[in-house]
Amino acid sequence: MTVDAIYNAKHPYQATISEIRELNGAGSQKDTRHVIIYLGEEGPQYVPGDSLGILPRNNPELVQRVIDWLGAKADESVDLPKGGGTLPLSEALQCLEISKVPKNLLQPLSAHTNDEVLRKLADPTEKELLTAYCDGRDLCDILAVCRPGALSAQELVDGLKPLLPRLYSIASSPRAHPGEVHLTVGVVTWESHGRLREGVASSYLGRRSCSGSKVEVFVHHSKNFGLPEDPATDIIMVGPGTGIAPFRAFLEERRIVGGSGRNWLFFGDQHSATDYLYHEEMASLQQEGILHRVDLAFSRDQGHKVYVQHRMLERGAELWRWIQGGAIFYVCGDALRMAKDVDAALHQVVQEHGGMSHEDAVVFVKQLKKDKRYLRDVYAV
Ligand SMILES: Cc1cc2nc3c(=O)[nH]c(=O)nc-3n(C[C@H](O)[C@H](O)[C@H](O)COP(=O)(O)OP(=O)(O)OC[C@H]3O[C@@H](n4cnc5c(N)ncnc54)[C@H](O)[C@@H]3O)c2cc1C
């Protein structure tokens, strides 16, 4: 068994954060952090293209609100669900799902509220109302309209699910940074029902952790997203925003491994002045001749929005030549819009520059996927 096979979501490795730095410049509307985690020699092993699983912890302020509502002591012992052991209440609440509405608790809490909607939600037939009510609310929103202390600490814990791990594309090559793993974390925040909310894991990693903080991790090996074995193969990388992460790892790896394969990056974000992540590193890679082409799309630098798919279409002829020459086409980042728009642009490039009908372009792109020359690592952001 290799060392990394030991660690998984149930048996994570306890690593230490060694550095967190801001990647966006002053005035940016984005908050992206470069997080360096020290794994040491005993930690899980990875290759570029893999992701790191993180077991996050809830914001202690939210945990304290729940404890205050219970009128309990932070060090009161509670049993975790599904034989997960016994923990002090404050620790248990840090690793249970409190940032959503716990459906299991609606019934017991409905008897302790004057909120008409919450009372109705105890009725299992009110599915639409339930979905609408839960949208943008968390446990604290529900407790705020219920009689404080109506449930015991154990009754509340029994109704909560374990917090799920989150995955982050690894942004480093282990050859370039032995014993370390680097991540590119976009801190998620939004406002709903009059309160500023934050993503559990991204705020835990990017804002509440610091150098020396312990973090539980495991490596998620990607079978279908990695560098080609042959370093002579050209690669095209489309990775706007945090989607640049695995491509930083690819480029670091190729800098060390060498080889004649050319590397082309499409990157985009809001503003060039503040949001070109790893700008200096990419500039150095270009100067060294590792990064052969970079096409940038900063959506808010001009009156009309420009995204990576627009740059792909502008460079269509060249893109087609690279694909014809055997290049692998990679996409990483936002699954909801970007990946779909990039997919449509790829079809258009193949159709226009390959002189194909729409149907033939569809068949061609399908074949690219089958041949593992169109690889995606996309997720909801
Ligand atoms: C293979 C893979 C690789 C990934 N790589 C990266 C990476 O390199 N970098 C990176 O930053 N992320 C990456 N992610 C995403 C990451 O795993 C998390 O999903 C992300 O950080 C958000 O997690 P969170 O715990 O901070 O937010 P959560 O606590 O999970 O909250 C996110 C949820 O908040 C709600 N929400 C968010 N915004 C709003 C809004 N404006 N209005 C209302 N509700 C909202 C939505 O319900 C959303 O689902 C990757 C995901 C996968 C699957």
Do 348 and 289 lie in one domain? The reply is yes
Segments forming the whole domain that contains residue 147: 60-158
Q: Is the CB of 335 under 6 A from ligand 1?
A: no
Q: Is the CB of 331 under 6 A from ligand 1?
A: no
Place of tokens 């509307």: 29
Q: Is the CB of 99 under 6 A from ligand 1?
A: yes
Do 248 and 281 lie in one domain? The reply is yes
Do 184 and 216 lie in one domain? The reply is yes
CATH code (residue 201): 2.40.30.10
Please, which pLDDT band fits residue 139 given cuts at 50, 70 and 90?
very high
pLDDT for the residue numbered 1: 41
- 375 lies in a domain? yes
CA–CA gap between residue 91 and residue 86 (Å, rounded): 10
Last residue of a domain, one of 118, 139, 158: 158
Region of 278 please: left (phi>0), alpha (psi -120 to 50) or beta: left
Do 49 and 185 lie in one domain? The reply is yes
* Alpha-carbon 225 to chain mean position: 15
CATH code (residue 245): 3.40.50.80
Please, which pLDDT band fits residue 2 given cuts at 50, 70 and 90?
very low
Please, which pLDDT band fits residue 3 given cuts at 50, 70 and 90?
very low
Separation of CA 188 and ligand 1 centre (Å):
7
Inform me whether the pLDDT recorded for 381 exceeds 90. Answer: no
Per-residue pLDDT, averaged over 253-274, amounts to 97
CA–CA gap between residue 24 and residue 187 (Å, rounded): 11
Please, which pLDDT band fits residue 81 given cuts at 50, 70 and 90?
confident
CB-based contact 230:260 (threshold 8 Å): no
CATH code (residue 102): 1.20.990.10
Q: Is the CB of 224 under 6 A from ligand 1?
A: no
Do 103 and 198 lie in one domain? The reply is no
User: Which residue, by CA, sits nearest to atom 10 of ligand 1?
Assistant: 185
The atom of ligand 1 lying closest to the CA of 188 is 26
Last residue of a domain, one of 158, 181, 209: 158
The count of other CB atoms within 10 Å of the CB of residue 109 is: 26
Tens of pLDDT, residues 329-353: 999 999 999 999 999 999 999 999 9
Q: Is the CB of 199 under 6 A from ligand 1?
A: yes
Do 370 and 282 lie in one domain? The reply is yes
- 341 lies in a domain? yes
Helix (H, G, I), strand (E, B) or coil at 376: strand
Q: Is the CB of 167 under 6 A from ligand 1?
A: yes
* Alpha-carbon 326 to chain mean position: 30
pLDDT for the residue numbered 127: 86
Mean pLDDT of the chain: 96
Picking from 214, 190, 212, 185, the residue whose alpha carbon sits closest to that of residue 201 is: 185
The model's pTM is 0.96
CA–CA gap between residue 350 and residue 323 (Å, rounded): 9
Name 168's bridge partners: 52
Do 47 and 186 lie in one domain? The reply is yes
- 26 lies in a domain? yes
Q: Is the CB of 250 under 6 A from ligand 1?
A: no
Do 279 and 345 lie in one domain? The reply is yes
Separation of CA 30 and ligand 1 centre (Å):
14
CA–CA gap between residue 73 and residue 76 (Å, rounded): 5
- 225 lies in a domain? no
Inform me whether the pLDDT recorded for 372 exceeds 80. Answer: yes
CA–CA gap between residue 135 and residue 130 (Å, rounded): 9
Do 373 and 319 lie in one domain? The reply is yes
The count of other CB atoms within 10 Å of the CB of residue 273 is: 13
What is the percentage of the chain residues whose pLDDT exceeds 90? 91
Helix (H, G, I), strand (E, B) or coil at 45: coil
CA–CA gap between residue 65 and residue 179 (Å, rounded): 38
Substitution candidate for ligand 1 out of 33, 182, 190, 202 with most atoms within 8 A of CB = 202
Tens of pLDDT, residues 148-190: 999 999 999 999 999 999 999 999 999 999 999 999 999 999 9
| CA distances to 70, 200, 295, 330, 364 from 140, in Å | 11, 14, 45, 41, 51
- 229 lies in a domain? no
Beta strands in the chain (DSSP E): 13-22, 32-38, 51-55, 77-79, 86-88, 166-169, 180-186, 189-192, 195-198, 214-220, 235-238, 263-269, 293-298, 328-334, 374-379
- 10 lies in a domain? yes
User: Which residue, by CA, sits nearest to atom 42 of ligand 1?
Assistant: 190
The atom of ligand 1 lying closest to the CA of 201 is 25
Tens of pLDDT, residues 316-335: 999 999 999 999 999 999 99
Q: Per the structure, how many domains does the chain have?
A: 3
- Measured N-to-C along each axis, helices 316-324 and 338-353 cross at an angle, to the nearest 10 degrees, of 80
The atom of ligand 1 lying closest to the CA of 245 is 8
The atom of ligand 1 lying closest to the CA of 166 is 17
Please, which pLDDT band fits residue 83 given cuts at 50, 70 and 90?
confident
pLDDT for the residue numbered 126: 85
> Which 8-state DSSP code applies to residue 243?
G
Q: Is the CB of 9 under 6 A from ligand 1?
A: no
Tens of pLDDT, residues 283-312: 999 999 999 999 999 999 999 999 999 999
Substitution candidate for ligand 1 out of 161, 168, 338, 376 with most atoms within 8 A of CB = 168
- 230 lies in a domain? no
The atom of ligand 1 lying closest to the CA of 243 is 8
Separation of CA 52 and ligand 1 centre (Å):
14
Last residue of a domain, one of 140, 158, 176: 158
User: Which residue, by CA, sits nearest to atom 26 of ligand 1?
Assistant: 199
Tens of pLDDT, residues 49-63: 999 999 999 999 999
Please, which pLDDT band fits residue 5 given cuts at 50, 70 and 90?
low
Inform me whether the pLDDT recorded for 23 exceeds 70. Answer: yes
Do 278 and 364 lie in one domain? The reply is yes
Do 66 and 112 lie in one domain? The reply is yes
Separation of CA 380 and ligand 1 centre (Å):
6
- 21 lies in a domain? yes
Q: Is the CB of 192 under 6 A from ligand 1?
A: yes
Do 239 and 371 lie in one domain? The reply is yes
Q: Is the CB of 190 under 6 A from ligand 1?
A: yes
pLDDT for the residue numbered 4: 53
